[in-house]
Structure 1
Amino acid sequence: MDLTPHRPADDDPNPLNRLTLDQLRLRTSMKWRTYPDDVLPLWVAEMDVPLAEPVVRAVTDAIALGDTGYPAGTAYAEALAGFARERWGWDGLAVERTAIVPDVMLGVVEMLKLVSGPGDAVVVNCPVYPPFYPFVEHMDRRVVEAPLGAHLRLDLDALEDAFRRAVAGGRRATYLLCSPHNPTGTVHTADELAAVAALADRHGVRVVADEIHAPLVAPGTVFTPYLSVPGAESGLSLMSASKGWNLAGLKAALAIAGPAAADDLARLPEEVGHGPSHIGVIAHTAALRDGGDWLDALLGGLDDNRALLAGLLARELPGVRYRPGPATFLAWLDCRALGLGDDPAAVFLDRGRVALNSGLPFGTGGAGHVRLNLGTSPEVLIEAGTADGGPPSSEGRPPKPLRVSRSDR
């Protein structure tokens, strides 16, 4: 693996190669404004890419027209249905069983309100996307953990045990499925998801699937929508173009109901549909309908970055365990062998000036881990993984490298 920094050719289609670090530091979003300028931000789920040209064109045209009112119509759902048919071979996304919601996480909240009540349990597979915990608890629901098993895959025995505990006493329960899984990048198989549906049916547990990372699956890996598997007819799903095309600031997502959940979705309060941005809906629709080439180039770049990160870790921090997942633009790193304590992200920030997500908020199994954002240029990854220290301090301690390096072990 060539770890030498280089600038891409002007005709390189990979969007991860298009922006320099100086250009990125002009951004005013959370990723680039939370830490000082001497910190490389590889944490929150924003990618370092320019927008796909179809998205830019659609938004620019809407702004020029003054088309900045309230969202309406089914164009977003129709675009997603077409994308699902083309990319996943799924023609079961019925436009009439969809609803626009402000974003995926707020959509999750609304789906949980439809199928559960205060005090009910919500099962999650830890370690998992941290907002699952506070959003569920703020709704006065209980989180029940079902830890991932070997190779960071679903553990059906642990899941069944969690379902039993969740419905004890005759209470309603929901399973909040993360598919593909954040932070591991695991893609659940069709067989795994069918087994999940069977378990949920057996125990009377409703399934709400967060499938926000569905477009970000590496070539050669099959993504299976939860609602496409046998037994998932009562499930609810949330999807969006926000992660695939870096549109988090353009709020819009879709709630999708299985055939047996249509009546539940029909009870969604009308005012929920007022929350999405009309410009967001336009952007997401354009991405799904016309942004396929841009996405394919991105997926190739992410595959290259996974290999690059594995090489950097093998050379600079061989004690870190990294099992590249075929989905998302996130890497889950097991740093326990480095002896940096439960929160190695704090050490990497202090000593390496690299901002990563601490594993602790991801729940059980997160201690000693960090989440790294791969959605950046190879140059930034190489800079983050290359030592650049000075002389030892007057107290005899090793130097503070500017980046993650062997001296952080």
Structure 2
Amino acid sequence: MTAAPLQALPIDELRQRSSTKWRRYPADVLPLFVAETDFPLAPAITARLARAVELGDTGYTPPEPGIREAYVGFAARRFGWDVEPHRIRTTCDVMMGVVELLRLVTTPGDRVIVTPPVYPPFYDGVPEAGCEVERVPLLETDDDWELDLAGIEAAFAAGATAMLLCNPHNPTGTVHSKESLAALAEIADRHGAHIISDEIHSPLTQPGVVFTPFLAASDAAARVGLTVTSASKAFNLAGLKCALMVTASDRTTAMVDALPDEVEWRTGLFGALAGVAAFDPQSDAWLDSLLVTLDQNRRLLGDLLAEHVPGARYRIPDAGYLAWVDLTALGWGDNPAVKVLRDAKVALHFGPMFGAEGNGHVRVNIGCAPDVLREAVERIGALARADAEAATAS
């Protein structure tokens, strides 16, 4: 039985929120930029946080808040992945985890591979860890994007020592195949390199698409991989600060266990409490409903662009609520989101922030009500028509 769609909150209620999405721009702007969603929290999360507030339970995070065991169950149910609880440690958020793991597996001055267009904080996290960014762009195929395995092999052969993998990939929504991940692991293993896999969007993989955790892709992946993930994207908990660092071999587990205690102390108590509730089976129905809504919206966006912005290029993502749209044909420059914000009053994420491969592109947050998405694309379409008419008149 298919779950019912999850309904977004009314926009007048959303504008009462104090988060970045609703405070960055004036009220006449539709915000479809930052990765926050417009839905009510899963009921189990609301109940757990409300009880904590009622108790004044706002102290330090305990060593065992229960999130390891909760994630073990979630990974088994959703991905068929057997994770051992003792191979999980927590920290503040995914990027903090990425930086700490990079420091474990690299030395200052090492080169770290990223695969643009990719999540902008990767470009900051690598130098924060004392390393240099090595760009190996995704390959664009007729149907999707894929890892440039030959380019990655060449980069490792030339001295790169680690790679940041984004799976599912942000901003394209690509879920990399098990075969591709296994091949990547073999390459890294041959060169004595490590793969740090950001899997924060994995709970948002659509039914019919198979998500393979990197550590489960092969024996080599278990040897060379370290994963960072969180409930924060799927369950809209970014402000509560809790991420998981996961390993699958005795060697990498010992490395992560040797991290300073302070890395784990940075875990937010409310983040841990909310994460336990999110990963609990009682939140599965909520997540299934969210996926139905996102499936409808990812398809709706394609229909709306075809109708209102026919020059746009867009591939339906495999996962997540972030859509990667190429507006190059409109002639709005390398960063079309600037014009869209100024003239259409729609805030989209700036494509060039994802790397030079993002020139001419925008990232659109579809984690909203269909009517909000429709109005946003209609505004952009009206702007495109006005520009075309002005060009014709001149």
Interval of TM-score (by shorter of Structure 1 and Structure 2): over 0.9
**Is contact 1:109–1:136 with CA below 8 Å preserved after alignment?**
yes
Offset at 1:269? 0.6
Partner of 2:186: 198
Partner of 1:217: 205
Offset at 1:262? 1.2
Taking structure 1 as the reference length, the TM-score comes to: 0.90
User: Which residues in structure 2 correspond to 1:112-191 (within 5 Å)?
Assistant: 112-149=102-139, 150=141, 151-167=144-160, 173-191=161-179
Q: Deviations over 1:14-42 (max 9, x none)?
A: 33x23111111111110111111111000
Offset at 1:363? 1.1
User: Which residues in structure 2 correspond to 1:52-71 (within 5 Å)?
Assistant: 52-71=42-61
* Separation of aligned partners in 1, 2:119 and 2:68: 25
- Out of 16, 20, 27, the residue aligned to residue 37 of structure 1 is 27
- Out of 219, 226, 233, the residue aligned to residue 222 of structure 2 is 233
Q: Given the alignment of the two structures, is residue 296 of structure 1 paired with residue 288 of structure 2, yes or no?
A: yes
1:339 is aligned with what amino acid?
G
Q: Given the alignment of the two structures, is residue 383 of structure 1 paired with residue 375 of structure 2, yes or no?
A: yes
Instruction: Give 3-state SS (helix, strand or coil) of 1:385's partner.
Output: helix
1:164 is aligned with what amino acid?
A
Q: Deviations over 1:73-102 (max 9, x none)?
A: 1510111110111111111x1110111110
Partner of 2:364: 372
Q: Given the alignment of the two structures, is residue 363 of structure 1 paired with residue 355 of structure 2, yes or no?
A: yes
* Separation of aligned partners in 2, 1:315 and 1:227: 42
* Separation of aligned partners in 1, 2:75 and 2:360: 37
Unaligned runs of 5+ in 1: 1-11, 168-172, 388-400
1:163 is aligned with what amino acid?
F
Q: Deviations over 1:154-173 (max 9, x none)?
A: 12112212222343xxxxx1
Unaligned runs of 5+ in 2: 389-394
- Out of 340, 347, 354, the residue aligned to residue 348 of structure 1 is 340
- Out of 241, 247, 250, the residue aligned to residue 257 of structure 1 is 247
- Out of 386, 389, 393, the residue aligned to residue 407 of structure 1 is 386
Taking structure 2 as the reference length, the TM-score comes to: 0.93
* Separation of aligned partners in 1, 2:243 and 2:57: 19
Offset at 1:406? 2.9
* Separation of aligned partners in 2, 1:162 and 1:330: 29
Q: Given the alignment of the two structures, is residue 308 of structure 1 paired with residue 296 of structure 2, yes or no?
A: no
Instruction: Give 3-state SS (helix, strand or coil) of 2:356's partner.
Output: coil
**Is contact 1:185–1:325 with CA below 8 Å preserved after alignment?**
yes
**Is contact 1:342–1:360 with CA below 8 Å preserved after alignment?**
yes
Structure with the higher helix share, 1 or 2: 2
Partner of 2:10: 20
Offset at 1:407? 2.8
* Separation of aligned partners in 1, 2:8 and 2:377: 20
2:288 is aligned with what amino acid?
D
Partner of 1:284: 275
**Is contact 1:354–1:403 with CA below 8 Å preserved after alignment?**
no
4+ aligned runs moved over 2 Å, structure 1: 12-15, 164-167, 401-409
Aligned residues: 378
Change (3 A) 1:335 1:279: same
* Separation of aligned partners in 2, 1:57 and 1:361: 37
1:406 is aligned with what amino acid?
R
Q: CA RMSD in A?
A: 1.5
* Separation of aligned partners in 1, 2:177 and 2:129: 31
Instruction: Give 3-state SS (helix, strand or coil) of 1:208's partner.
Output: strand
- Out of 80, 102, 116, the residue aligned to residue 89 of structure 1 is 80
2:366 is aligned with what amino acid?
L
Q: Deviations over 1:49-78 (max 9, x none)?
A: 111100001111122222222222151011
Partner of 2:321: 329
**Is contact 1:383–1:403 with CA below 8 Å preserved after alignment?**
no
Instruction: Give 3-state SS (helix, strand or coil) of 2:294's partner.
Output: helix
Partner of 1:266: 257
Q: Deviations over 1:244-297 (max 9, x none)?
A: 100101110110112131111111110111111111100011011131100000
Partner of 1:7: none
**Is contact 1:148–1:154 with CA below 8 Å preserved after alignment?**
yes
Instruction: Give 3-state SS (helix, strand or coil) of 2:207's partner.
Output: coil
* Separation of aligned partners in 2, 1:341 and 1:287: 41
- Deviating more after overlay: 65-74 vs 250-259: 65-74
